[in-house]
Structure 1
Amino acid sequence: MKVCIYGAGAIGGYLGVQLALSGADVSLVARGAHLAAMKANGLKLLIGGEERVAHPRCTDNPAELGVQDFVIICLKAHSITGVLEQMKPLLGPSTRIVTAVNGVPYWYFYKHGDKLEGSTLESIDPGGRQWRELGPERAIGCIVYPATEIEAPGVIKHVYGDKFPIGEPSGEISADCERLSKLFEAAGLKAPVLDRIRDEIWLKLWGNVCFNPISALTHATLDVICTDPATRALAKAMMLETQTIAETFGVKFRVDVERRIEGARKVGAHKTSMLQDLERGRPMEIDPLVTVVQEMGRLTQLPTPAIDAVLGLVIQRAKVAGLY
Structure 2
Amino acid sequence: MKIAVVGAGAIGGYLGARLALAGEQVTFIARRKNLEAINAHGFRLILEDGSLAHARDVRAVERYADADPQDAVLLTVKAHQVRDLLPDLRALFGPQTMVVTMINGVPWWYFHKLAGPYEGRRLDSVDPGGAIAAHIEPERIIGSVVYPAAELVEPGVVRVIEGNRFTLGEPDGSRSERIEALSQAMIRAGFKAPVSKDIRGEIWVKLWGNLSFNPISALTHAMLEDICRFPPTRALAARMMAEAQAVAEALGVRFKIGLEQRIAGAEAVGAHKTSMLQDVEAGRALELEALVGAVVELGRITGVPTPTIEAIYAAVQLLQRTLQAQHGRLQIQPLA
Q: Under a length normalisation based on structure 1, what TM-score does the superposition of the two structures give?
A: 0.98
- Deviating above 3 A after TM superposition, structure 1's stretches of 4 or more consecutive aligned residues are none
How far apart, CA to CA, are the structure 2 residues paired with 1:198 and 1:298? 18
Work out which of the residue numbers 304, 307, 310 in structure 1 matches 2:309.
307
Tell me, yes or no, if the aligned pair for 2:153 and 2:159 is still in contact at 8 Å.
yes
Corresponding position of 2:70: 68
Q: Secondary structure at the match of 2:100?
A: strand
How far apart, CA to CA, are the structure 1 residues paired with 2:41 and 2:67? 20
How far the C-alpha of 1:318 sits from its partner, in A, is 1.3
How far apart, CA to CA, are the structure 2 residues paired with 1:206 and 1:10? 23
The one-letter amino acid paired with 2:38 is M
Q: Secondary structure at the match of 1:176?
A: helix
How far apart, CA to CA, are the structure 1 residues paired with 2:283 and 2:55? 29
Deviations 1:198-237 (A, max 9, x none): 1000000000000101111111111101110011000000
How far the C-alpha of 1:64 sits from its partner, in A, is 1.0
Aligned runs of 1:234-245 on 2, under 5 Å? 234-245=236-247
Aligned pairs, number: 324
Work out which of the residue numbers 101, 104, 107 in structure 2 matches 1:105.
107
How far apart, CA to CA, are the structure 2 residues paired with 1:233 and 1:161? 28
How far the C-alpha of 1:38 sits from its partner, in A, is 1.8
How far the C-alpha of 1:32 sits from its partner, in A, is 2.3
How far apart, CA to CA, are the structure 1 residues paired with 2:229 and 2:176? 42
How far the C-alpha of 1:40 sits from its partner, in A, is 2.4
Q: Does 1:251 align with 2:253?
A: yes
Corresponding position of 2:51: 50
How far the C-alpha of 1:86 sits from its partner, in A, is 1.1
How far apart, CA to CA, are the structure 2 residues paired with 1:23 and 1:83? 27
Tell me, yes or no, if the aligned pair for 2:38 and 2:59 is still in contact at 8 Å.
no
Work out which of the residue numbers 163, 166, 185 in structure 1 matches 2:165.
163
Corresponding position of 1:21: 21
Aligned Cα root-mean-square deviation (Å): 1.2
Aligned runs of 1:1-324 on 2, under 5 Å? 1-47=1-47, 48-55=49-56, 56-322=58-324
Q: Secondary structure at the match of 2:320?
A: helix
How far the C-alpha of 1:111 sits from its partner, in A, is 0.8
How far apart, CA to CA, are the structure 2 residues paired with 1:190 and 1:234? 33
Identity %: 48
How far the C-alpha of 1:36 sits from its partner, in A, is 2.0
How far apart, CA to CA, are the structure 2 residues paired with 1:271 and 1:236? 19
Contiguous gaps of at least 5 residues in structure 1? none
The one-letter amino acid paired with 1:247 is E
Tell me, yes or no, if the aligned pair for 1:106 and 1:136 is still in contact at 8 Å.
no
How far apart, CA to CA, are the structure 2 residues paired with 1:111 and 1:150? 35
Tell me, yes or no, if the aligned pair for 2:17 and 2:55 is still in contact at 8 Å.
yes
Contiguous gaps of at least 5 residues in structure 2? 329-336
